[in-house]
Amino acid sequence: MDDYHVIAFYAFFPVEDPHLEVKRQKKFLAERDMRGRIYISEEGYNGQLSASPDASNEYIAWMKDDPRFADVQFKIQTFHEHPFDRVTVKYREQIVAMDEKVDMQLVGEHVAPKKWREMLESRDEDTILIDVRNNYESEVGHFEGAECPDLETFREFPEYANRLAKRLDTKNTKVMMYCTGGIRCELYSSLMKERGFENVYQLDGGVINYGMQEGSKHWKGKLFVFDDRMVVPISEDNDEVLTVCKDCGVSCDHYFNCARMDCNDLFISCLECAKKARGCCSESCLKEGRVRPFNPDHAPRPYRRLSKEEKEHLAGT
């Protein structure tokens, strides 16, 4: 069959009964060759899915029959297999966890990829380019000249915004920001406006959309994604590797989750070193026990949730 479609979308609008929408989504997805996760709240939708081409087309058509989604951008990449192992549709109080309410009427100006490239090429000293992602995401790839905050979760970004407001001229500084698919910039651009920044711009559709339209021009490295692919090129001409194995120093950008159940930290390693460590991030984690089976015969992917029997077995090792 053709490659699977990997779909990313989001939408901010008032949702009167998110629990009913969860049921509707579950029913539609269960009847088709689709996997992934959708989070729904009173503030909107956040979805990442994989689907056969037919199911993908049916889903997007079904969604766009709803006037609320008529103008929503469904970004599509392809992959040779499902990068998700199951379907998850859940209600969440926040579709992006920032723990701070913002006025979504203050959202920054959306900039199309072509204009974004032009802005990068004409950027002056009064412009700051911010990577609005976690540190482990920007480590494997980012735009040239971007400020990549050393933050581990999106919840830490409001305090980072406070520091920026003290450091920069909020009236005259041009703030350019980007994230993977655009949703985090919707919140963060509004937050920056609330902090007093007057000139805020966000990459429309995020890095995914930029790669689809402009290739890897001004982009360094690869793109971290929250599914089985973990690290992917943003376009066909994108093969640059920025990172090295933490043990041997060879050039690689393979992320692994530590195989020790009580750790699970992300780390970059070549396959040979990961084999030696049985998928653990350190010798101490390997010795501590409760280590999940490590399969070196496929590309690295996040660990699945273990069955009850597997957990009981590991607890006794």
pLDDT given at position 303: 61
At residue 194, what are phi and psi to the nearest 5 degrees? -65, -30
Q: Is 264 left (phi over 0), alpha (psi -120 to 50) or beta?
A: left
- Per-domain residue ranges for the chain? 4-91, 104-214, 255-315
pTM listed for this prediction: 0.91
CATH code of 104-214, in short, is 3.40.250.10
179 noted as active-site residue:
yes
Q: Do domains 4-91 and 104-214 have the same CATH topology?
A: no
Q: Which of 202, 234, 187, 216 is nearest to 75 (CA)?
A: 234
Task: Show pLDDT as tens, one digit a residue, over the chain (317 residues).
Answer: 579 999 999 999 999 999 999 999 999 999 999 999 999 999 999 999 999 999 999 999 999 999 999 999 999 999 999 999 999 999 999 999 888 888 888 999 999 999 999 999 999 999 999 999 999 999 999 999 999 999 999 999 999 999 999 999 999 999 999 999 999 999 999 999 999 999 999 999 999 999 999 999 999 999 999 999 999 999 998 999 999 999 999 999 999 999 999 999 999 999 999 999 999 999 999 998 889 888 876 666 676 554 444 444 444 44
Q: Which of 4, 2, 1, 7 is nearest to 205 (CA)?
A: 7
87: β partners: 36
Q: Are 78 and 5 in contact (CB under 8 A)?
A: yes
Whole-number CA gyration radius for the chain: 20
Distances (CA, A) of 294 to 1, 251, 275, 291, 303: 29, 22, 8, 8, 9
| Tokens read off for 253 | 């950008």
> CB-based contacts of 8: which residues, under 8 Å, 6+ apart?
47, 48, 74, 75, 77, 180, 181, 208
CB atoms within 10 A of CB 314: 17
**Exposure on the CB side of residue 69, measured as CA atoms within 13 A:** 16
> CB-based contacts of 102: which residues, under 8 Å, 6+ apart?
187, 190, 191, 194
- Helix or strand run (H / E) with residue 61: helix 53-64
Architecture of domain 4-91 in this structure: 2-Layer Sandwich (3.30)
Catalytic residue, candidates 148, 179, 245, 248: 179
Q: Are 56 and 7 in contact (CB under 8 A)?
A: yes
| Tokens read off for 75 | 């970004």
Give me the sign of the Cα torsion angle 167, 171, 175, 181.
positive
